[in-house]
Structure 1
């Protein structure tokens, strides 16, 4: 399955690539409720337009931020859906009961999505313009309810990382948000642990 990565920035300023695995999961890394508010990226409608133009939707057909129209009310609705999905996604990852209020919010937002259209001459696929905030809401909600139905949501195995992703690997055993970040840290710790025990093992 094709991947779609975003570059996230660590507290030390270093970036790493992260593939959340789906559009709804991608939306989660734009911010969230409670302690996640410090990661908020969607402060204004234009922020959502810019975020969307760098999202997985462009893998289906290219578009720019200028092709997106978002109102303040639509931005608020998208962020409310994102925050509700955080609770649902965490429950999925941990094997807990799903919060009914969160699932209801997802189900209620699935009505409208971006419309793919094809040029009759070039046969090129594109999106009907403008793409609205309500369509973004619907696209995220539909993807989220499909994830609830089929599962596969995981949480990074690192004890100090709360990133969630859909495991789309062929083996179905993805453990880390990114090998550049938590996967590499685990390898370094394991190497050091083996090195520290070598003298004792040799005696």
Structure 2
């Protein structure tokens, strides 16, 4: 397993704050093939991170993300400080994933933050009936859920798929995903909608070119 080393330099902070999305328009995307990258995908909008649209605009929306992610139930309601902590971890994972994708050195501060959360109140796996599988407890604290996200990031950055972190090939989709296909040639975060839309555009372009030649 590869040792993930930090570089001495720290990435520049974002110069502008992301926009916030109206609560009636937000949607969460879970198409990244990794818990930590689904966490990253909670920022919507263009590929340029400073111009993205913030989906976690309230503690309730962060709670909703955890609920939809399939993780254990939160033991308590969240507050604005929890939202700030989640955003901070999310952006650290985003920077690490982007640098991993490019083969560039990682920020020591971002690695320290991920490691900080991975150590927080570790959860205890539980064997289910028949002792055939292990599962998470049904209820976890916020710090324990954050620890799961951080641990997933560590597994990704040090595992066999660390070179398979990709950006969706769709011009309209900023999602980072893990290509776990056997051939390693996946281009889109999902065939629907991104792959289907790209195929439809290519088909319309071919039809248009064919019509032009016929006239």
TM-score above 0.5, yes or no: yes
1:4-23 equivalent positions in 2, closer than 5 A: 18-23=30-35
Q: 1:193 aligns with which of 199, 205, 212?
A: 205
1:43-192 equivalent positions in 2, closer than 5 A: 43-44=58-59, 46-57=60-71, 63-65=72-74, 67-68=75-76, 70=78, 72-112=80-120, 113-118=122-127, 127-128=136-137, 130-150=139-159, 151=162, 152-192=164-204
What secondary structure, in the 3-state scheme, does the structure 2 residue paired with 1:41 have?
Answer: coil
What secondary structure, in the 3-state scheme, does the structure 1 residue paired with 2:113 have?
Answer: helix
Q: How many residues align?
A: 183
Q: CA–CA distance in 1 between the matches of 2:207 and 2:191?
A: 21
Q: Which runs of 5+ in 2 are unaligned?
A: 1-24
- The Cα RMSD (Å) is 3.3
Task: Label 1:49 to 1:123 Cα distance change in 2 as closer, same or farther (>3 A).
Answer: farther
Aligned to 1:28: 40
What secondary structure, in the 3-state scheme, does the structure 1 residue paired with 2:145 have?
Answer: helix
Contact 2:29 2:41 in 1 (8 A): no
Task: Label 1:125 to 1:135 Cα distance change in 2 as closer, same or farther (>3 A).
Answer: same
Q: CA–CA distance in 2 between the matches of 1:73 and 1:15?
A: 22
Contact 2:119 2:147 in 1 (8 A): yes
Deviations 1:25-53 (A, max 9, x none): 111122386323x2323521x43333222
Deviation, 1:120, is 6.9
Contact 1:88 1:102 in 2 (8 A): yes
